[in-house]
Structure 1
Amino acid sequence: MTNIIEISNITKSYKLYDKPTDRLKEAIHPLKKSYHKEFVALDGITLSVKKGDALGILGRNGSGKSTLLKMITGVLTPTSGNINVEGKISAILELGAGFNPEYTGRENIYLNGLMMGYNREKMDEKVGSIIEFADIGDFIDQPVKVYSSGMFARLAFAVSINVEPDILIVDEALAVGDTRFQTKCIDKMKDLKLRGTTILFVSHASEQVKRFCNKAVWIKDGKLEVMGDSSEVVDLYEDFMRNDIESSENKVDARIIQESQYDPDFILPANPDVLALVTKVEINKNSFKTFDELKVEIEYEVYEEIIDDLLLGAAIYTPKREYIFGPNTFLEKVPIPNKRGRHKVNYCIPQLPLLGGSFCLDVGLFNNEGIVNIHYKENAVSFNITNKYFSEGVVYINHKWEVLK
């Protein structure tokens, strides 16, 4: 399969000045005195993306992800190196980009279509599906300057995915929309992926990258740390995020490693974005029969002083990711420890009603009634069920027969 994007040893650096006047001083100084500090946003990135790939891009804030995407789209030019892109790009880089705030939503649809190379007649064919997808009602004929961030995201996404791009770039746009809209967008992106569209997807929700993308890259401090299968890259990235203990002159920062009342070996990660993690999931056995007891021991760590509304969920899936059952502690009104420290919770199904097959268990930490995902472990453990023939289907349901005649 051919490469649709080729990036060869690109760098991007910026000159940073302490004061605006320093730029002028540097420009006119007779001895060419330097008044700036150089900041290297990207340093020697080389990668290729094949047509039809869904590539997840991982990295902490400031690592260079957005800079890379802006160079792929042509918004920025690299300081050195080469980028070759084949095909039409549709990108959602930041809210409002490519929109005229004085134009209505409908007018901005045509404006964006023009920038993509479509004429008025072609956009007439697409505008109906775009408006339907955006689903912002009468606001479509209002100036976009009055739109909320959610409306911006809806319209931007609707335009970008309905103009038949060869390459779709999504930079954290899903974080703005509500859960229903996020689901709608992911479904549409899956459809585009099946039709061969190449997708570059930036998300801090690493489980989204693992589930949606077949490939992933991790950018660390402007450099390409690793590229490969999305599941493997996500696992490496999550492990780094948890264990990123930074040192200065071989001295441990006292703010990073702290003793906990729960465990003297408890360690806080250096990255403040990591609020809590599921650290261990164990089950009582790996091979079951229908009606056996399933016991799951879940260990998790909380790194904040307290996380309000913390909840724990456990979901059973088939290997094809068919959703079987997924309760959580919020829905069942079970309070769990939410203060800093290491905690354990047991989850038990006294009589497993599933019939024969292989299954896996996902475990996740959430808050805000399950809307905000703090950490999610897909396929944390797996198990199988085997029986002598006594029934058919996926799950055993209590029932009775009654002969009437």
Structure 2
Amino acid sequence: MVVPRGETVGIIGRNGAGKSTLLQILCGTVRPTSGSVAIHGRFAALLELGAGFNPDFSGRDNVYLSASLLGLSRREVDDKLQSIIDFADIGDFFDRPVKTYSSGMYVRLAFSVAIHTEPDVLIIDEALSVGDIRFQMKCLARIEQIRARGATILFVSHSLEQVKRFCQTALWLEGGKVKLHGEASFVADRFRDYELGREQASEAATESCRAPRPDSIPAHLETVALSTDMLAPFEPLSVDISYTVVDDTVQGLLLGVAIKGMDGLHIFGPNTYLERVQIPTSRGSHRVTYHIPSMTLLTGTYRIDVGLFTDKGLVCLDYLSEASVFTVAAPYFSEGVVYIPHEWKVHDVDAS
């Protein structure tokens, strides 16, 4: 992977996926099994809580120790010391041994030292999850300043919303390997859906489509195929459905398609009966395509259920739950599930 200068990258994944190990490799504290790492410019890192601190030293002594490890001279630390103290805001504890600190104090002091090195690359491993909300906001504001001057930022976060709003790209790790690397909103949504069981549902749906159907039912579904499993908003999507009629005396066959969120929310459910579309009922195999000319769903992963019914939909002959899964991917541009055409108008109000 290559991270351009000035880019903010969120690193996500389950516990044990390799997130912290990756950051340690980047920082040089862990040697990779193979491959190499090249970082251009000064970098600062917040890895394990209090890493680089001597627990018996005071906060003041540890500032000089930690800053020297990050490449600052003693004179540079002298010039920045008051600013470091003010940002950490730990009061009299600054001159006490850090072994008496709470976890929040560790983070405050470590973060304050790191950002005052004015790094070209800032690496953060879940450190912000320890501090209080006010301090987190303070840190994010300072990170934004660092990013604005062109620094590169890599950070591990369990907050997917934070990743979507703060990062340009995201890296999803699974089992020590890169599962997905791309636009932050897209990667975060895919990871969220995976955690909700998208992969298990997709595998179960594949097996369901291939399972043999009994000959006792007059008609049954065969396969469900999408024109694509990844698209952008307003792009087309087609669902190709094949079914077999065993008993041609059956009347009033209809096909229904249900588009649902991965949480089960029923978003849209058209069927051929309500839309007055007649499908073949003669003995043999048949194919019907459900076409969406312009997808109005927003970024996310969705599932498609397909059902074969008779008697105006009152009798279900066959049903494939989660027959297919597709993802709508786009840069973050709106909240919600579906895009509704709209416009804004700004009116001048007479002050008099």
CA deviation digits over 1:166-216, x for unaligned, max 9? 111111111101110010000000000001111001101011111111111
Cα 1:72–1:147 change in 2 (3 A) is same
What's 1:229 paired with? 183
Cα 1:392–1:199 change in 2 (3 A) is farther
Please give the alpha-carbon distance, in whole angstroms, between the structure 2 residues aligned to 1:391 and 1:67.
58
Please give the alpha-carbon distance, in whole angstroms, between the structure 1 residues aligned to 2:67 and 2:79.
11
Q: 2:89 aligns with which of 135, 140, 143?
A: 135
Give unmatched runs, 5+ long, in structure 2: 205-261, 268-332
What's 1:208 paired with? 162
Structure-to-structure mapping, 1:150-189, within 5 angstroms: 150-189=104-143
Please give the alpha-carbon distance, in whole angstroms, between the structure 2 residues aligned to 1:240 and 1:108.
42
1:84 aligned to 2:38? yes
Please give the alpha-carbon distance, in whole angstroms, between the structure 2 residues aligned to 1:390 and 1:91.
50
CA deviation digits over 1:213-243, x for unaligned, max 9? 1111111111111111111111111111112
Q: Is the 8 A contact 2:67 2:114 kept in 1?
A: no
Compute the TM-score of the two structures, normalised by the length of structure 2: 0.60
Report the more deviating stretch, 87-96 or 190-199: 87-96
Q: Is the 8 A contact 1:105 1:142 kept in 2?
A: yes
Please give the alpha-carbon distance, in whole angstroms, between the structure 2 residues aligned to 1:51 and 1:154.
26
Q: Is the 8 A contact 1:201 1:209 kept in 2?
A: no
Cα 1:280–1:142 change in 2 (3 A) is farther
Q: Is the 8 A contact 1:281 1:380 kept in 2?
A: no
Over alpha carbons, which structure has the higher Rg? 2
Please give the alpha-carbon distance, in whole angstroms, between the structure 2 residues aligned to 1:200 and 1:97.
18
Q: Is the 8 A contact 2:196 2:263 kept in 1?
A: no
Q: CA RMSD in A?
A: 2.7
Please give the alpha-carbon distance, in whole angstroms, between the structure 1 residues aligned to 2:266 and 2:141.
30
Segments ≥4 residues shifted beyond 2 Å: 244-247, 277-282, 378-393
CA deviation digits over 1:326-371, x for unaligned, max 9? xxxxxxxxxxxxxxxxxxxxxxxxxxxxxxxxxx87xxxxxxxxxx
What's 2:328 paired with? none
Q: 1:84 aligns to what SS in structure 2? A: coil
Please give the alpha-carbon distance, in whole angstroms, between the structure 2 residues aligned to 1:135 and 1:111.
19
Percent of pairs with identical residues: 48
Cα 1:70–1:387 change in 2 (3 A) is closer
Q: 1:152 aligns to what SS in structure 2? A: helix
1:116 aligned to 2:70? yes
CA shift, 1:86, in A, is 1.5
Compute the TM-score of the two structures, normalised by the length of structure 1: 0.52
CA deviation digits over 1:269-303, x for unaligned, max 9? xxxxxxxx976598xxxxxxxxxxxxxxxxxxxxx
Cα 1:386–1:231 change in 2 (3 A) is closer
Q: 1:145 aligns with which of 96, 99, 102?
A: 99
What's 2:7 paired with? 53
CA deviation digits over 1:52-81, x for unaligned, max 9? 110111110000010010000000001111
Q: 1:80 aligns to what SS in structure 2? A: coil
Q: Is the 8 A contact 2:44 2:121 kept in 1?
A: yes
- AA partner of residue 148 (structure 2): L
What's 2:17 paired with? 63
Please give the alpha-carbon distance, in whole angstroms, between the structure 2 residues aligned to 1:197 and 1:85.
12
Please give the alpha-carbon distance, in whole angstroms, between the structure 1 residues aligned to 2:33 and 2:346.
67
Q: 1:209 aligns to what SS in structure 2? A: helix
Q: Is the 8 A contact 1:281 1:381 kept in 2?
A: no
- AA partner of residue 85 (structure 1): I
Please give the alpha-carbon distance, in whole angstroms, between the structure 1 residues aligned to 2:14 and 2:344.
44
Cα 1:392–1:144 change in 2 (3 A) is farther
Cα 1:143–1:186 change in 2 (3 A) is same
Higher relative contact order (CA 8 A, sep 6+): 2
CA shift, 1:246, in A, is 4.9
CA shift, 1:382, in A, is 5.9
Cα 1:95–1:392 change in 2 (3 A) is farther
What's 1:95 paired with? 49
CA shift, 1:391, in A, is 3.7
